[in-house]
Structure 1
Amino acid sequence: MYLTVIVSFSLLSFVPIDVEGYFQLCDFNKTIFASEESTATFLANFTYKEYFISFHKPDRQYRNIFVVFGHRDGHIAEDNLYWKDSSWKNRTHISSQLNTNNHIDIRIDVSNISMADNGTYELNFGENVCFVLFVMQIRLEPSGTGAIEENTPVFVYAHPHASVITRPFANATMVWLFDGLSANQTASFIQQDGLIWIPHITRGLDGRNVTYRAVQDNGNVNEVNFILDVTYGPSKPLTLVPGQTQYYLVSGDLMPDITCTSDCKPPCSTSWGKYSRGGTLSLGIVTPFNTGEYTCTATRTGVKTVERTVNIYVADNPSFTIAIACLATVQALTTLGLGLWAFHIYRRNKQSPCQMCFNTIARKSPSTNTDDGSNLEAVNNHGQEHYEDLDPDIRRTNKVYDNPAATRLEVYENTTLSSSPTLGVQQTHI
């Protein structure tokens, strides 16, 4: 593991662009720190008033940037300004003036600077003033400036390194901060010069601010910031609300909605397959046909998929089955144009056919002992059951009928049924 870390560090070594060297002919040097894509400001004061002014970069190719032939009482006129490097023209503003000491102050503002602008610059106005520009940058490896996948090793690399800042010219100290606090207080960070190594980045670091700061001895502070962008999820296991994964119901019960979620960035797509394209499973009133496994799937595009299964068991409920069959029959009769029949049933019984179905189920019950209110089983009631007369025109209710067990016949008021099963009739044998 140790050797792997050393190799990784060496792969990330950064070769600065002409920032280590200083032009030896300069009368004095100034150091400028500026973050990438910001504006760098070059300030100089001259006591010698010469006719010719030049600004150039004495690197390996010695690039002239602009020259000025003459000035008017310290002011640089645009018509006397000649650009040698056109890439600087549209992003550079030059101003100058005589100060109270009759010296000339020159200010050069360069916007949208990049790492290619690192290096040493010379401004010549009879005297030579040299500027060392450090363009500050934070970049991540191996993902560059993109998002980082959770649990991967991350290298946070900064420029300039302390090793390339030569004192006493720069006179600056480079420090790392994490959310405004010293990165030394974060145990998960391993620092080495301008490098921070995070062995396993977590989702808790998403949105956190990493700062690389240059603190100069003259009090100037410059810094560059980087917001960590961590992608993650879906997590295992997926979150279910309610949280149970086993359901035992009876036909006719109302199944609660189950919501399936997962903590993802970017957000995951969640589905219950053919039962729901979203994260909520809604079955409503259940029947035995709803028995089975239901799997929630959370997917982050192009990354990974996580599943979680819920088992639902629905037992049969005879009363509910009869009621459903009754409703279906009435609906079928109505569809066939037998609405007059349903109306006749309603006039005769003051109930709709559906109400009669439900009431028939509800009214059939074991006998009740009026002395103590307890329910008596049929075997303890001498083979007798109580039925309420369902015909409102016959005013005899709660009549007791003997059960002729010898002939295996069941006697209902005004109706005698054979022992042979008859379609659509529910029989009770004693």
Structure 2
Amino acid sequence: MAGSPLPGTEDDISTSDGFGVPNLTSYNGCSLASGHDISLGILNIRLNPVHHGQDGIYQFTHGATVMKCVKLFIYGQPNKPTISSNVSMAYDGQSVTLRCHSVSSTVPGDHNLSMTYEWKRGEHVVTSDGKFILEAKSRGSLTIMNVVTSDTKYNFTCRATEDSGNTSLSSDAFYLKVVYGPNAVTLSPSHVSYALDETLPLNNISCFSDCYPGCTYTWLKGGVVFSSGPVLSLGSLLRGEAGNYVCRATNPERPSISLNSSGTALML
């Protein structure tokens, strides 16, 4: 038979046989408990308090014969779980599956206890609906349907509960990473045209856009690539540098999608 007390509690282990006085093979921390009658082969053992290190098999023997075995499991709090994702970054409209995993600290480890999981999005418990799908029974995985950029505003956490009833700490917060952009390419200064005398310096013009994980920038002059990087730096102008300049923002994770700024005309 087996017992499963919590650490720090008392546990009585009882057995009997009809062959005289048994011997006890056990661990430290054992004492005889009320109800024993060694003359009848009835032996009650008290572990007080139960602590880690007392788990395992207790044997009652008669001579060289093992008459009874008791396997004692000691419940532990499940370890703090971790969250993993099936993708490092998601795209708008994609589904993402998160998995929560905890390791039991109940000993010995050859028990058949299982874990169930609870998920939270921010402060709210997640339930299966059109947006979220929880794995049946254990709820160890959470599938988020049709991911959008706004999903990155919220964190996901989980915690594990073992069949014993013990519950883990909450996992660290997990945030989705959703690829987006480029959005709204802007220039600073925002002038649409400059009229300058030749050899006069032009202040740098910077290009900005919003992308995740980040934008790359290319400057075009008359539709042809002129330079790379977010800053157009011409310095002292030459007549051949007159023309229309456009900044193009591109997300390397979505190279087929780019966005141009409004044009800036340089007149010399």
TM range (shorter): 0.5 to 0.7
1:278 is the counterpart of 2:229 = yes
Quick one: distance in 2 between partners of 1:280 and 1:233? 22
Alignment of 1:344-355 (within 5 A): none
Alignment of 1:15-26 (within 5 A): 25-26=1-2
1:211 is the counterpart of 2:144 = no
Q: Are the structure 2 counterparts of residues 240 and 125 from structure 1 closer, same or farther at C-alpha, using a change threshold of 3 Å?
A: farther
Q: Are the structure 2 counterparts of residues 260 and 43 from structure 1 closer, same or farther at C-alpha, using a change threshold of 3 Å?
A: farther
TM-score (norm 2): 0.55
Q: Deviation of residue 211 (structure 1)?
A: 1.7
Q: Are the structure 2 counterparts of residues 182 and 302 from structure 1 closer, same or farther at C-alpha, using a change threshold of 3 Å?
A: closer
1:294 is the counterpart of 2:245 = yes
Q: Which residue of structure 1 aligns with residue 52 of structure 2? A: 107
1:154 is the counterpart of 2:99 = no
1:125 is the counterpart of 2:58 = yes
Q: Deviation of residue 154 (structure 1)?
A: 0.7
Q: Are the structure 2 counterparts of residues 73 and 176 from structure 1 closer, same or farther at C-alpha, using a change threshold of 3 Å?
A: closer
Q: Give the structure with the larger strand fraction.
A: 2
Quick one: distance in 2 between partners of 1:107 and 1:292? 79
Contact kept, 8 Å, 1:44 with 1:107, in 2: the verdict is no
Alignment of 1:189-204 (within 5 A): 189-191=132-134, 193=136, 194=139, 195-204=141-150
Quick one: distance in 2 between partners of 1:185 and 1:243? 48
Q: Are the structure 2 counterparts of residues 285 and 159 from structure 1 closer, same or farther at C-alpha, using a change threshold of 3 Å?
A: closer
Q: Deviation of residue 209 (structure 1)?
A: 2.7
Q: Are the structure 2 counterparts of residues 200 and 242 from structure 1 closer, same or farther at C-alpha, using a change threshold of 3 Å?
A: farther
2:25 is matched with which residue: 49, 52, 64? 52
Alignment of 1:217-228 (within 5 A): 220-222=166-168, 223-228=170-175
- Let me know the Cα RMSD of the aligned residues: 4.7
Quick one: distance in 2 between partners of 1:197 and 1:185? 9
Q: Which amino acid aligns with 2:185?
A: L
Q: Deviation of residue 314 (structure 1)?
A: 4.2
Alignment of 1:19-418 (within 5 A): 25-26=1-2, 28-29=3-4, 45-48=10-13, 51-53=24-26, 71=27, 103=48, 105-108=50-53, 123-126=56-59, 127-130=70-73, 136=81, 138-141=83-86, 143=87, 147-151=88-92, 152-158=94-100, 174-184=117-127, 188-191=131-134, 193=136, 194=139, 195-206=141-152, 208-214=154-160, 220-222=166-168, 223-243=170-190, 246-247=192-193, 249=195, 251=197, 255-272=202-219, 276-284=227-235, 286=237, 288-299=239-250, 301=252, 303-304=254-255, 306-308=258-260, 310-315=262-267
Render the CA deviation track for 1:139-166: whole Å, top value 9, x for unaligned.
323x2xxx22231211223458xxxxxx
SS in structure 1 of the partner of residue 210 of structure 2: coil
Quick one: distance in 2 between partners of 1:212 and 1:47? 36
Quick one: distance in 2 between partners of 1:220 and 1:263? 45
Q: Deviation of residue 215 (structure 1)?
A: 5.7
Q: Are the structure 2 counterparts of residues 105 and 232 from structure 1 closer, same or farther at C-alpha, using a change threshold of 3 Å?
A: same
Q: Which residue of structure 2 aligns with residue 361 of structure 1? A: none
Contact kept, 8 Å, 2:8 with 2:50, in 1: the verdict is yes
Q: Are the structure 2 counterparts of residues 211 and 72 from structure 1 closer, same or farther at C-alpha, using a change threshold of 3 Å?
A: closer
Size of the aligned set, in residue pairs, is 213
Q: Give the structure with the larger helix fraction.
A: 1
Q: Are the structure 2 counterparts of residues 48 and 173 from structure 1 closer, same or farther at C-alpha, using a change threshold of 3 Å?
A: closer
Q: Are the structure 2 counterparts of residues 189 and 291 from structure 1 closer, same or farther at C-alpha, using a change threshold of 3 Å?
A: farther
SS in structure 2 of the partner of residue 232 of structure 1: strand
Q: Which amino acid aligns with 1:153?
A: S
Identity %: 18
Q: What stretches of structure 2 of length at least 5 have no aligned partner?
A: 15-22, 31-45, 60-69, 103-111
Q: Deviation of residue 178 (structure 1)?
A: 1.3
Larger Rg: 1
Quick one: distance in 1 between partners of 2:177 and 2:58? 51
SS in structure 2 of the partner of residue 289 of structure 1: helix
Quick one: distance in 2 between partners of 1:131 and 1:72? 15
Q: Are the structure 2 counterparts of residues 128 and 303 from structure 1 closer, same or farther at C-alpha, using a change threshold of 3 Å?
A: same
Q: What stretches of structure 1 of length at least 5 have no aligned partner?
A: 1-24, 32-41, 54-70, 75-100, 110-121, 161-168, 317-430
Q: Deviation of residue 230 (structure 1)?
A: 0.7
TM-score (norm 1): 0.38
